[in-house]
Amino acid sequence: MKTPKELQSWQENELKKTLDRFPERKDPFTTHGGREVQRLAVPEEIDRNYLENIGFPGRYPYTRGVQPTMHRGRLWTMRQYAGFSTASASNERYRYLLDQGQTGLSVAFDLPTQIGYDSDDPMSLGEVGKVGVAIDTLADMEMLFDRIPLDKISTSMTINSPAMVLLAMYVVVAEKQGVRSDKIRGTIQNDILKEYVARGTYIFPPKPSLRLITNIFQWCAEQAPLFNTISISGYHIREAGSTAAQELAFTLANGLTYVQAALDAGLELEVFARRLAFFFNGSSNLLEEVAKFRAARRLWARIMKERFGTTDPRSMMLRFHTQTAGSSLTAQQVDNNIVRVTIQALAAVLGGTQSLHTNSRDEALSLPTEDSVRTALRTQQVIAHESGVADTIDPLAGSFFIEQLTDTLEREAVDLIGQIDEAGGVVACIDNGFIASQIEDAAYQYQQEIERGERIIVGVNEFQVEEEATVPVLRVDPKVEDEQVARLQQVKAERDNEAVQQALDELGRAAREDRNLMAPVLAAVRAYGSLGEICNVLRGVFGEYRGRQW
């Protein structure tokens, strides 16, 4: 073990290397009065307990961050979640956000896309382009990323059950731009387990869904090693009503389930584990959220080291994206939402997030307008460049309250993970309803507290006003659905349908023979097979999950 003095020297050398790579971050940082901001605050005496439980950023157990320099060396990625209407309209929004200083893309897909239906399917009626962008074929994906260089921009895609299909489309679009798969960067959410208990956009039962996920792990390890193969998501668990401790526990329990599934499939731990990423909710209790993020890093590092025996530091690092809490936004006094989002974003930054989406003020009413999206992005930029919180590494470490709360949240999460283990694991707890019922009970209790006035929501149950002014809202034109269906039908009429059918037949054989499905999905995508056609082949082999039976 390095001595504290050696660790301090190591940390300063790491900072210098980071600043050499990212010279836009100036060093030394100073206050308005000219006082130099300390790089990293540490106690005067560092004992073994400190090193084992808090330690240094970039060192096990990563309580203080996964990178030695954190935001002092490089700011988080500002990755605004966006997508609506058609691929063309969403492309315009993406290029607008990039022009405004956004540093990464995050794609929202419409509901039919998320559950594997084409826009012309009867199940899609009335939902095309409403809560995200409609993607039916490779032609839509080509339009979505038109004039966006995929060798320079990283892209996150919130897609789960049909994640393999959308990843294949992204890979082929990159190829058409001349970008090899080993050069693309980004993340697919690809986290099906939380869908069964919190979000509901599942298609297939758990076992074949885990097979698709591990197939992606394997293919990306060989062909797209810079791409994050999963974003294990606590966000939707929290949005469904969980507590912070439940979000932490259920997310990490899902994570260890994916790790075990990959090991059972014969994958090498040190190859796939370093590409796992996480996605957490940023809620309004600032100090609890900071402690949650710190506890998440420490607990995951311990799980990977002690349960799975990894010795690779990259496999122990919990890297995460944060989105501010959509469920906290109110339709009443919508400008208050700007304040809520600022607090939530600040918690994420203080907690050491790697990327961040800030919600817009009008999202309780509709998809956000362009003006609202710009304000949300500016919120991140003000925090980054004016608040000073990114000028020193892990500024809240050492707070008695923060450290105590971090320990408490970790203990509560460990207890819940232990209960899941005793019940037979996450899949068993999906089947018996344990996880869902925990979330539902917490959500009910929270709502009761609001209705009894024990918990104040400003503008809702206290400090109300009579509101007359109307807020401009973005409305998706109903004609979008007709236009998208016409576009899909045109693609189907112009493509080589015999080649499509051959690719779909080969996909069905591969699914029945337990082969890795990424190659046949890529072949179907290249032939302009549609999302719905590909998913229907898999439905025929795997069946569909029908949800909890009461």
> For the domain bounded by 75-451, which CATH number is listed?
3.20.20.240
464-468, 476-480, 492-496, range with the lowest pLDDT: 464-468
The answer, yes or no, to whether residue 549 has pLDDT greater than 60, is: no
Mean pLDDT for all residues in the chain: 94
499 vs 32: CA distance, rounded Å: 65
The answer, yes or no, to whether residue 27 has pLDDT greater than 80, is: no
pLDDT at 102: 93
pLDDT band at 422 (very low <50, low <70, confident <90, very high): very high
Q: Are 82 and 370 in contact (CB under 8 A)?
A: no
- Kind and range of the H or E element at 355? strand 355-357
pLDDT band at 25 (very low <50, low <70, confident <90, very high): confident
Neighbours of 461 (CB within 10 A): 15
pLDDT at 468: 66
- Per-residue pLDDT, averaged over 244-250, amounts to 98
Distances (CA, A) of 192 to 212, 241, 250, 278, 416: 10, 18, 13, 13, 20
511 vs 209: CA distance, rounded Å: 12
- Per-residue pLDDT, averaged over 470-478, amounts to 85
Closest Cα partner for 280 from 230, 241, 244? 244
Q: Are 77 and 277 in contact (CB under 8 A)?
A: no
Angle at which helix 531-542 crosses helix 206-223, to 10 degrees, equals 130
CA 346 and chain centroid, separation: 18
pLDDT band at 47 (very low <50, low <70, confident <90, very high): confident
In three state form, how does the secondary structure of 214-279 look? HHHHHHHHHHCCCEECEEEECHHHHHCCCCHHHHHHHHHHHHHHHHHHHHHCCCCHHHHHHHEEEE
- Per-residue pLDDT, averaged over 356-378, amounts to 95
Of the chain, the percentage scoring pLDDT greater than 70 comes to: 97
312 vs 310: CA distance, rounded Å: 6
- Asked, as a colleague might, if the bond just before 61 is cis with ω within 30 of 0, I would say yes
542 vs 57: CA distance, rounded Å: 44
Closest Cα partner for 317 from 294, 337, 338, 300? 300
355 vs 480: CA distance, rounded Å: 32
288 vs 347: CA distance, rounded Å: 9
Place of tokens 């797209």: 224
Q: Please report the DSSP string for 117-177 in residue order.
A: --TTSGGGTTTTTSSSB---SHHHHHHHTTT--TTT--EEEE--TTHHHHHHHHHHHHHHT
539 vs 541: CA distance, rounded Å: 5
pLDDT at 1: 55
- Per-residue pLDDT, averaged over 54-73, amounts to 93
The answer, yes or no, to whether residue 547 has pLDDT greater than 90, is: no
The dihedrals phi and psi of 106, each to the nearest 5 degrees, come to: -140, 120
pLDDT at 548: 64
Task: Quick: pLDDT tens for 289-302.
Answer: 999 999 999 999 99
- Per-residue pLDDT, averaged over 67-86, amounts to 92
Burial of residue 357 (number of CB atoms within 10 Å: 0-12, 13-18, 19+): buried
Q: What is the dihedral of CA 33, 35, 38, 44, to 10 degrees?
A: -120
Closest Cα partner for 191 from 247, 233, 234, 248? 233
Q: Are 281 and 239 in contact (CB under 8 A)?
A: yes
Cα of first residue to Cα of last residue in the chain, in angstroms, is 54
DSSP letter, residue 199: I
- Per-residue pLDDT, averaged over 12-25, amounts to 72
Closest Cα partner for 189 from 259, 80, 278? 278
pLDDT band at 550 (very low <50, low <70, confident <90, very high): very low
Task: Quick: pLDDT tens for 190-201.
Answer: 999 999 999 999
- Tell me where in the chain the CATH 3.20.20.240 domain(s) lie: 75-451
- Per-residue pLDDT, averaged over 229-254, amounts to 98
377 vs 468: CA distance, rounded Å: 27
Of the chain, the percentage scoring pLDDT greater than 90 comes to: 85
In three state form, how does the secondary structure of 87-116 look? HHHHHHHHHHHHHCCCCEEEEEECHHHHCC
Q: Are 230 and 190 in contact (CB under 8 A)?
A: yes
pTM: 0.94
Enumerate residues 6+ apart whose C-beta is below 8 A from 302: 61
pLDDT band at 476 (very low <50, low <70, confident <90, very high): confident
- Per-residue pLDDT, averaged over 142-149, amounts to 97
Q: Is 519 left (phi over 0), alpha (psi -120 to 50) or beta?
A: alpha
Burial of residue 54 (number of CB atoms within 10 Å: 0-12, 13-18, 19+): buried
Count how many Cα atoms sit within 13 Å of the Cα of residue 171 in the half-sphere of its side chain.
Answer: 26
Q: Are 80 and 377 in contact (CB under 8 A)?
A: yes
Backbone CA torsion sign across 442, 443, 444, 446: positive
pLDDT at 232: 98
The answer, yes or no, to whether residue 13 has pLDDT greater than 50, is: yes
pLDDT at 17: 76
pLDDT band at 26 (very low <50, low <70, confident <90, very high): confident
549 vs 424: CA distance, rounded Å: 19
- Per-residue pLDDT, averaged over 478-483, amounts to 94
Enumerate residues 6+ apart whose C-beta is below 8 A from 23: none
